[in-house]
Chains A and B, each alone.
Chain A
């Protein structure tokens, strides 16, 4: 890509559809011999909330950096707003809001100064930046901290400030790389609430996460990534329907090796997954499965019936859990 300001030479020839925000085909990112993103295809429409779900190292962040026009594409095609990041980086970035994985706030400056300088990068006038700052501090519930330095703020507050900052240019797409990683549950819920409001107001959200609950809360549609590839795509509900069962029975035993218990209950439910610390029985009726286990005289330390989640989808697709 050209890192400096570049000049638009011609209009994009690929896609005139103004509602197609992101389009990638065969998108690849190599770092030397290592392939971080291995030929993925996806498309995101205006107003959608789209997620990349996968464990650490799946290629989610590399994908986000390519979309954010700060990482050159190694192969395949990528269009953001119908434009090529290699030739229209600054123009595309002017219409994106970016919430990076790690906060890049200036901790020595105050909350409002962070918004001011960031707004200025987008070429907004001082008065415009100031009026938007007032609105955004309100949105991020940081109005009473406007004049305090960033450094002593809590992790949740810094994250909300980062999101507020990314909104100062009124972006059409908001890119969120693991927006709530490292936050406590309450801070995560506050953040989800803010993101949900944004989505409702029409902002296209594109996010990465390795949290199932986050993906289920925020994404209309998502792709599951593993080792740089997309292994499944759909709405959270449809993925669960397609790759899992309605309910899951979790059994824990008082032994180190859970594998032989798996043999003892073989045949119960549709499918059994053996994890290091528990057995998962996939079934339409969890209580009935629990009763069947009991009937065989198997005595688990604990048994729990729950609804299937995206975690189960991921486990089924990759044979691994997401967060270990």
Chain B
């Protein structure tokens, strides 16, 4: 241990007298600093995920579907399924980034508490962290689109619009899940969320087959949850003949889900952190 006897630095004359112009950026920066420790493994996973999906679903299952049924409504299965999986992956990335990290920042490492002892406020914490989540979803989606394009999964440049749609889809999960995660005392709630909400959504939101195939009683569930909207908008764009009104409707739905989620998240963060 150093035995330096230097005098301490604090003085009462030169003070930063006011909050920074945009403290949320500093919050975002701190999540980036933490990400620097793990980005290599994370990027590797981001490339691996589309490759696995494309090999198994697109080529494996797709070969079977195309041979026996001539694709889905005349569209080769690879082209049908990839835009759906793209949206679904955004949901999974969003879940991963907004479940344990949020609860951990409240209960385990108390990262949010540390931030609140500075000029940073609840809104900055939310905005900064959500921006980081959006960055993760954007990165994962861009990589997925790039890899899938190499496999010949897309029929049109319209697919580029899948990037913002997919990010919105992911955020339509991430923001409400922020509100949920802030309330959790243990990870029991996440098990329920993953098993009983995310997994059924993944299977029944039109990712692997059109929701017309579902029994009529289940279909409304797909309509109500964000994933189907992302899947349907993505598919419409990626196949090259977008139904503009449909895509705009889906986008509006996703934006509304994000706004409601943000109000809930703000309330649940304030309740949890400002007591």
Contact = CB atoms under 8 A, between A and B. Distances in A.
Interface string A160-197: 00000011011110100000000000000000001001
A122 B26 CA distance: 9
Contact of A203 (B6, B10, B37, B113): B10
B124 A202 contact: no
Contact of B274 (A3, A113, A124): A3
Interface in B161-202: none
A316 B265 CA distance: 49
B116 A46 contact: no
Contact of B119 (A2, A94, A113, A174): A94
Contact of B34 (A72, A108, A124, A143): A108
A225 interface: no
Nearest to A31: B275
A122 B131 CA distance: 19
B29 A120 contact: yes
Nearest to A198: B8
A4 to B, nearest CB: 4
Q: Is the interface of B mostly helix, strand, loop or mixed?
A: loop
Contacts of B16: 94, 122-124, 169-170
Contacts of B37: 108-109
B270 interface: yes
Contacts of B68: none
Interface in A56-88: 68, 70-72
Interface in A81-135: 89-91, 93-98, 100, 102, 104-109, 113, 116-118, 120-124, 132, 135
Nearest to A6: B121
A70 B113 CA distance: 9
A142 B4 CA distance: 10
B111 interface: yes
Contacts of B122: 3-4
A1 interface: yes
B114 interface: yes
Nearest to A107: B109
A242 interface: no
Contacts of A203: 8, 10, 12
Contacts of B109: 104-108
Contacts of A89: 121
Given A108-B34, A172-B15, A136 B9 contact: yes
Interface in B5-33: 6-12, 14-21, 23, 26-27, 29-30, 33
A143 B23 contact: no
> Most A CB atoms within 10 A — which of B7, B10, B15, B20?
B10
Contacts of B6: 135, 138-139
A144 to B, nearest CB: 6
Nearest to A114: B114
B213 interface: no
B33 A141 contact: no
Given A4-B121, A70-B116, A96-B117, A46 B19 contact: no
B119 A141 contact: no
A98 B2 CA distance: 24
A74 to B, nearest CB: 11
A167 B10 contact: yes
A213 B155 CA distance: 76
A90 B124 CA distance: 11
Contacts of B29: 117, 120
A123 B117 contact: no
Contacts of B10: 97, 167, 170-171, 174, 198, 201-203
Contacts of B9: 132, 135-136, 139, 167, 170
Contacts of A68: 117
A97 B111 CA distance: 16
A5 interface: yes
A1 B23 contact: no
Contacts of B274: 1, 3, 70-72
B66 interface: no
A138 B30 contact: no
A46 to B, nearest CB: 7
Contact of A5 (B7, B23, B30): B23
A233 B33 CA distance: 45
A138 B4 contact: yes
A113 B116 CA distance: 18
A203 B30 CA distance: 28
Contacts of A136: 9
Contacts of A46: 12
27 contacts: A1-B274, A3-B121, A5-B121, A46-B12, A70-B116, A71-B275, A91-B19, A94-B118, A94-B119, A95-B15, A95-B17, A104-B114, A106-B111, A108-B34, A109-B33, A116-B33, A117-B29, A121-B23, A121-B115, A135-B9, A139-B9, A144-B1, A166-B117, A167-B9, A170-B11, A170-B16, A194-B8
Given A5-B19, A100-B114, 11 more contacts: A3-B274, A5-B124, A89-B121, A94-B16, A95-B15, A113-B33, A117-B26, A121-B23, A144-B2, A169-B16, A170-B11
Interface of B: 1-4, 6-12, 14-21, 23, 26-27, 29-30, 33-34, 37, 109-111, 113-124, 270, 273-275
Chain A to chain B: the 8 pairs with minimum beta-carbon distance, closest first: A123-B20, A3-B122, A121-B118, A98-B117, A4-B123, A104-B114, A104-B110, A117-B30
